[in-house]
Amino acid sequence: MKILLPNTIPLDDLIVEAGDEAVRYDVTAPIPHDLRDADVFVAWQNTPDNLASAARELGALRLVQTLAAGPDAVLAAGFRPDVAVTSGRSLHDATVAEHTLALTLALVRRLDRLRDAQRDSHWDDEFLAAQQNPLTAPLYTLAGASVCIWGFGSIARTLAPMFELMGATVTGVASSAGTRFGYDVVDDAGLPAHLAGVDVLVSLLPATPASTGAFDKALIDALKPGAVFVNVGRGATVDEPALIDALRAGRLRAAALDVMVTEPLPADSPLWTAPNLLLTPHAAGNRPRGAAALIARNLQALRTGGPLTNLVGA
């Protein structure tokens, strides 16, 4: 098999069998002619034009292995229906969970506000008073808070115990109501009523036609007044104008976005100046762990006809 590996990630620990040919390619350029007979295409941080070139030119392709947790960019490239697509689900669980916890703590503890006070050489006595006031003190801690994770998959399985260790009660939202990984989950129909008691809503939603703009004015209004919102899933799932309006009106206490509808975020985006909003540049994952092992497992499955790991649509 000829296996194309991206030049954006070290994969020196990838073990291939005798007779296989692993070749590096540039994720920003069209696929060279001498690589167009590849059987396997591994994608990571590719440009849309590169993915489109791969979809158009790789006529012998059997498998696309994206190292991203969400396969949306690969699916949008237009690969043939007979080409299997496998995702990088699980490769980013630990890093995304860690970043999500950091963003949540930053919002709850209002580190954004304290950062601004430091920049202005200002001792924030108002913050200190609110943190110490018995009526408002619960806003400044995860202890006793209700945290809801929207999109309760493998990342949530890693993240939920972290919140529990901080003293929070964790619930989730999934395609069907019940119990997942030992946590109570509601389905989409039950989400609006559930949000009335939620202090922190974390979105891990993937980008799908059904999830586009899912966090809209109606769901914002359904949230407990003063709640905070963190999105580390996909930018397309958030109605950004509605989010900005809610922050300006104080309907949301604060929010953090690691993903946006348009990336990189344009300099003229109103998100830059929205109040009580923390932005990070799609940095929550960005460090696939165990990529070589996942690729090797799917190469072996391709050789033997066994089941592919993280097969999209399965």
Beta bridge partners, 6, equal: 25
Write down the H helix ranges in 181-290. 191-195, 217-222, 240-249
Q: DSSP per residue over 264-280, as a string? A: SPPTT-GGGG-TTEEE-
Distance CA 52, CA 36 (A): 13
Is residue 285 pLDDT above 90, yes or no? Answer: no
Distance CA 295, CA 102 (A): 30
Beta bridge partners, 257, equal: 231, 279
- The dihedral through the CA atoms of 96, 98, 101, 105 has a sign that is negative
Is residue 269 pLDDT above 80, yes or no? Answer: yes
Unique residue bearing structure tokens 């619930």: 171
Q: Which pair of tokens denotes residue 204?
A: 């891990």
Is residue 123 pLDDT above 90, yes or no? Answer: yes
Catalytic residue among 62, 282, 289, 297: 282
Q: Does the bond joining 264 to the residue before it have cis omega, within 30 degrees of 0?
A: yes
Q: DSSP per residue over 83-135, as a string? A: SEEE--TTTTHHHHHHHHHHHHHHHHTTHHHHHHHHHTT---HHHHHHHHSTT
Residue 303 annotated to the active site: no
**Longest Cα separation, the chain:** 69
| Axis-axis angle for helices 111-119, 93-108 (nearest 10) | 60
Average of per-residue pLDDT across 142-159: 96
Residue-level pLDDT at 102: 98
Q: What is the pLDDT of residues 47-79, one digit of tens each?
A: 999 999 999 999 999 999 999 988 999 999 999
Query: Reduced to 3 states, what is the DSSP secondary structure of residue 37?
Result: coil
Catalytic residue among 234, 248, 289, 297: 234
Residues 6+ apart with CB under 8 A from 161: none
Q: What structural domains and CATH numbers belong to the chain? A: 2-91+288-304 (3.40.50), 93-279 (3.40.50.720)
Residues 6+ apart with CB under 8 A from 211: 205, 234, 236, 237
Residue 234 annotated to the active site: yes
Residue-level pLDDT at 29: 97
Distance CA 187, CA 181 (A): 15
Is residue 286 pLDDT above 90, yes or no? Answer: no
- The dihedral through the CA atoms of 29, 209, 192, 165 has a sign that is negative
Distance CA 244, CA 297 (A): 44
Residue-level pLDDT at 70: 86
Residue-level pLDDT at 45: 95
Distance CA 214, CA 261 (A): 13
The percent of residues above 70 in pLDDT, for the chain, comes to 100
Q: What is the pTM of this model?
A: 0.88
Q: What is the pLDDT of residues 224-264, one digit of tens each?
A: 999 999 999 999 999 999 999 999 999 999 999 999 999 99
Average of per-residue pLDDT across 81-103: 96
